[in-house]
Each structure stands twice: as structure tokens, then as C-alpha cells.
Structure 1
Amino acid sequence: MKTIPELKTRIQELSKQAVEFSRKASEVCLTDRQQAKYFRQQAREASKRTQVLIQELKRQEV
């Protein structure tokens, strides 16, 4: 199990990843639909992992 500071750091990293993938998807959506779809999928996965870690953080803080 990770410590609270490690969880917070990982949450921030994954959040940044999700935002970056989403931004990339927006940039390429008009030129390359497949690439945009891939980036959106990656953003969704990073977001889901972030939510799991947030729940873990909440459990540890209680």
C-alpha cells in the first residue's frame, strides 16, 4: 500500500496525463480520427485510475 504523499503525487501525475491526452485528442480530431480516438481512450483510462487512487486516498485518510 502506498503512503498518502505517494498517492497524492501519483494522482497529480495521472490527472496531468488525462488532461494531456484529452488536449491531444482535441488537437488531432479533425485530421486523424483514429489517433483522436486513441487519445480519448487513454485519457479515460488515466481518469479512471485517478479516481481509484482518490478513493484509496480517502480510505487511508479516514
Structure 2
Amino acid sequence: KKLKIIDEIIEEPLGGAHRDYDLISSSIKDSLIKNLSALNSMSMEQLLDRRYKRLVEIGI
């Protein structure tokens, strides 16, 4: 979280993801749709600028 490498943490069901495939599959799907929709709404210039800023923040 401190390095801002991760955009989102998907919570696992109690006992781990292997305990409830349907719930974790739904959570992953929802997260992908949300995050890809946000990225899809950006221009190529915005995406490249965002990527550059993130890499600079983490020191790459």
C-alpha cells in the first residue's frame, strides 16, 4: 500500500479463496470490470502519463 503498486485488494472469503469459488470469482470479475472501465475511459496520453507517474513514485 505504501508504494502504491497495488490498485485494489480483493478480500478473500473467510477461510480463503478456495473455500468459496463462486464468491471469489464474482469479486474478481467485479474488480476487473470496474478497473478496466476506468482505464478504458482514459486517453492513451493519460494512460502513459499515469504509468510514468506511478513508476517515478516507486523509484523505477
TM-score, structure 2 normalization:
0.47
Larger Rg: 1 or 2?
A: 2
Structure with the largest fraction of helix: 1
